[in-house]
Amino acid sequence: MAYVLTIDGPAGAGKSSVAKRLAQLLGIHYLDTGAIYRAIALVLAEEGVRPEESESLTQALPGIRIELRGGAVLANGVDVSREIRTPRADKLSSVYSALPSVRRALLGLQRDQEQYGSLVVEGRDEGSVVFPKAPLKFFLTATPEARARRRCLERERRGEPVSYEEVLAAIRERDIADSSREVSPLVQPEGAVRIDTSDMTEDEVVECLLSRVRDALAKGEISA
Ligand code: DC
């Protein structure tokens, strides 16, 4: 039977790499919901729709088609996989994802992914709103400083160095926006296992999650 594992937490807590590896090790799908929010935000900005509830937002949303193909994200048929990883997309996604209409528009797309089989899904409200009945939920967190250091390393590896101070300020700003918004704020879902990854290596986090999943599988709390 298909099962869903949710991983929520703030930006830079290491969710993406851990979720990807966990899915790989378990041989199940991986769903990066942040990528979906990033893609829709880019399209809305491109179309000149202001980041507020309005008639033009309501009219624009049904015309936007976001698709996930393998590792790629397509917006209205165009591959935006690279574009969604820019600092501009960081900001835009944070602003547009606070709008209830945007969240509603993306709910179906996220839930539909379950039909393709078991899933590791990563985001902000996956265990609390999108998949509240998920049998196993994780909440990954880390200090803003640890998260900023990771983001800087990531960007450096991509050949796009950024200043640590700027990244730290942006993370703090996004934390406030993501957790203070009215709809689906970032919260630790009920029943979620909380893991502070500040002083853990990626391997240790993966191992920690994997052992919880194996435990749940062995106890029959989830079944493959
Ligand atoms: O995880 P990320 O940094 O790629 O997410 C981009 C933005 O989308 C972030 O500001 C929070 C938002 N988001 C959300 O509101 N709900 C989700 N399930 C996933 C992401």
Nearest in space to 8 (alpha carbons), one of 140, 181, 204 = 140
CATH number at residue 138: 3.40.50.300
The residue contributing the CA closest to ligand 1 atom 10 is 94
Q: How many folded domains does the chain comprise? A: 1
* Each residue's pLDDT tens digit, 194-209: 999 999 999 999 999 9
Residue 1's pLDDT is 80
Task: Please give the Cα distance from 188 to 214 (Å, whole number).
Answer: 22
Ligand 1 centre to CA of 92 (Å) is 10
Is pTM, for the whole model, over 0.85? yes
Kindly write down the DSSP assignment for every residue of 88-110, as one continuous string.
HHHHHHHHHTTSHHHHHHHHHHH
Is residue 71, in this structure, part of any structural domain at all? yes
Residue 168's pLDDT is 94
CA 169 to chain centre: 20
Is residue 224, in this structure, part of any structural domain at all? no
By most ligand atoms within 8 Å of CB, the mutation choice from 7, 37, 43 for ligand 1 is: 37
Is residue 223, in this structure, part of any structural domain at all? no
Is residue 58, in this structure, part of any structural domain at all? yes
Residue 158's pLDDT is 85
Domain span at 189: 4-218
Is residue 112, in this structure, part of any structural domain at all? yes
* Each residue's pLDDT tens digit, 24-58: 999 999 999 999 999 999 999 999 999 999 999 99
The residue contributing the CA closest to ligand 1 atom 13 is 34
Residue 35's pLDDT is 96
Q: Are 147 and 59 in contact (CB under 8 A)?
A: no
pLDDT along the chain (224 residues), means of 10: 94 91 96 96 98 97 93 95 93 93 96 94 96 96 94 88 92 87 87 96 96 95 84
- Listed in sequence order, the DSSP H helices in the chain are 15-26, 33-46, 55-60, 87-96, 100-112, 144-157, 164-180, 202-218
